[in-house]
Amino acid sequence: DVPLFISRNRLTGYKTFPQAVGRWAMVSGGFTELKDHGRWRTPAPEYVADVRRITAGVGAPDFVAPQDW
């Protein structure tokens, strides 16, 4: 097993998610969001909803990073 460290940005477009078979964690995608757009376009409640939907589909992560404002 290889642990997976993935960005929320990579997962938000999925309708259904593959089940995790190993350890995984998710980051907010903040660096890319700020680099590409100069600001956060995702409000905190939407980020939380995405985290809940993704973790419900993939499985429990080791951790999920907060939005790094």
Query: Exposure of 41 by Cβ count < 10 A (0-12 exposed, 13-18 middle, 19+ buried)?
Result: exposed
Residue 50 has a pLDDT of 95
Domain ranges for the chain: 4-15+24-64
Q: What is the pLDDT of residues 21-49, one digit of tens each?
A: 999 999 999 999 999 999 999 999 999 99
Hey, what are 10's tokens?
């990579």
What pTM did the predictor assign? 0.87
